Structure 1
Amino acid sequence: MMPRIGDIAPDFVANTTKGKIKFSDFAKDKWVVMFSHPADFTPVCTTEMSGFATRKSEFDALNTELLGLSIDSIHAHLGWVQNVRENTGVYFDFPIIADLDMKVSKLYGMLQPNESETAAVRAVFFIDPKKKIRLIMYYPLNVGRNMDEILRALEALQTSDKHGVAMPLDWKKGDKAIVPPPKSLDELNARLADDSVEKVTWYLAKKSLN
């Protein structure tokens, strides 16, 4: 069964460009964004990995480790990392799993046979410090991801956890968040009398987090 939102991320041991890791011991007390790409030395994947690399400092600021994966050898990974660095100056300074036996890809549902039986789709798993899967994105082989959306979603998850709120459409840092709706008549009456929140209606109210 493919992992679902709310599941504990399946554990594994794997070789990466930063050495061997055991996932349950990886990035202690941090969030993890784990993402797969179809293959090394391919054009869309190069743009995506470069996007993660050039914005790594933004993930660092959000207490988040990056972890890549494809069904390639460690030697292919190293060659690709060096090739991109030589040609563009961008360095993939985060671990990339060499998943030649497809063990991790199968464990996380990254192999989807109607798309490809030998290449991982473009999956993104957002995993919190308790190793719980909080959000999953899947893209096909021919469409690259959106780095702004990945960072926005990560920050939304963290902000929601911190403040106990929900995020409206297109929420970004600095926007108002949605406060939980009333669950009793007393709470409803208190909400109607509360001038500290912006009330669209009694069940939809927003507040500033600043």
Structure 2
Amino acid sequence: MSTEHPTSQQAAGLRIGDFAPDFEARSTVGPVRLKDFRERWLILFSHPADFTPVCTTEFVELARQAQEFERRDCALMALSVDSLFSHFAWLRLIRDRFDVEVRFPIVEDPTLVIGRAFGMVAPQDSDSATVRSTFFIDPEGVVRAMTCYPANMGRSIPEMLRMLDALQAIDEQNGLAPANWTPGTPLLQPPSQTLDDVFAAQRETDWFLREAGNGDEA
């Protein structure tokens, strides 16, 4: 397993707009390298440990919704400190118990080097028991959004899909996603930056709060 020498700032935590640090590691689908996922979207997410109740429900639901992510040209990749063989045993249990196969890669990170490079784990931490972070990485390798959940609370898979839809719609239409935006509803136009437009606006808010038309279905 290796990473490309993340900077101290990256180790302290990535920010939206940063390039995701590249790494190469073993996974349940063979060796993976982050930069090999360029030119498509990638959701990289961590889970505290295999054989835990909340993580199991997340992976079952993500496996069931995997085609929805694929339809959006988005790959999934999971990460935890557990060994590759622990991942294998856990995925076998999930398949036998829930009749669903987890086919997206699960990366092993026993030394926490990847978790620290992404700021998922603090430099002084010795384990990732509190980690449940998600990074939305665009086709250029840029971190576009992040979420962080406590270990005792599972992610919302519909919200992950909604966030992905919003990011893709924003890029495609050069718009802004308002509160509670969903595919098929209008985006907003970027606000005007000229004083003439501000004074010429018919209503007080028209220069900065305007719909951009209906959003395309994802």
- State the shift of 1:159 in Å: 0.3
Partner of 2:140: 130
Counterpart secondary structure, 2:45: strand
Is 1:118 equivalent to 2:121 in the alignment? no
* CA RMSD, 1 decimal: 1.9
Counterpart secondary structure, 2:127: coil
Asked whether the 8 Å contact 1:67–1:95 carries over to 2, the reply is: yes
In the TM superposition, 1:16-95 aligns within 5 A as 16-25=27-36, 27-95=37-105
- State the shift of 1:23 in Å: 1.1
- State the shift of 1:188 in Å: 3.8
Partner of 1:204: 209
Partner of 1:14: 25
Aligned residues: 203
The 3 A distance-change label for structure 1 pair 186 and 48 is same
Percent of residue pairs bearing the same amino acid type: 38
In the TM superposition, 1:147-186 aligns within 5 A as 147-186=157-196
User: What is the rounded CA distance, in whole Å, between the counterparts of 1:153 and 1:200 in structure 2?
Assistant: 26
Question: Taking structure 2 as the reference length, what is the TM-score of the superposition?
Answer: 0.87
User: What is the rounded CA distance, in whole Å, between the counterparts of 1:113 and 1:144 in structure 2?
Assistant: 24
User: What is the rounded CA distance, in whole Å, between the counterparts of 2:148 and 2:182 in structure 1?
Assistant: 21
User: What is the rounded CA distance, in whole Å, between the counterparts of 2:146 and 2:26 in structure 1?
Assistant: 23
Is 1:142 equivalent to 2:152 in the alignment? yes
Deviations 1:97-141 (A, max 9, x none): 011111111111112489x74125110000000000000100111
Partner of 1:196: none
Counterpart secondary structure, 1:208: strand
User: What is the rounded CA distance, in whole Å, between the counterparts of 1:148 and 1:81 in structure 2?
Assistant: 22
User: What is the rounded CA distance, in whole Å, between the counterparts of 1:190 and 1:29 in structure 2?
Assistant: 42
User: What is the rounded CA distance, in whole Å, between the counterparts of 1:186 and 1:53 in structure 2?
Assistant: 52
Gaps of 5+ in 2: 1-11
The 3 A distance-change label for structure 1 pair 188 and 106 is same
Matched to 2:35, the amino acid is S
Matched to 1:6, the amino acid is G
User: What is the rounded CA distance, in whole Å, between the counterparts of 2:200 and 2:107 in structure 1?
Assistant: 52
Asked whether the 8 Å contact 1:182–1:191 carries over to 2, the reply is: no
Alignment counterpart, residue 107 of structure 2, candidates 89, 97, 100: 97
Asked whether the 8 Å contact 1:15–1:97 carries over to 2, the reply is: yes
Gaps of 5+ in 1: 194-198
Question: Taking structure 1 as the reference length, what is the TM-score of the superposition?
Answer: 0.90
The 3 A distance-change label for structure 1 pair 113 and 156 is same
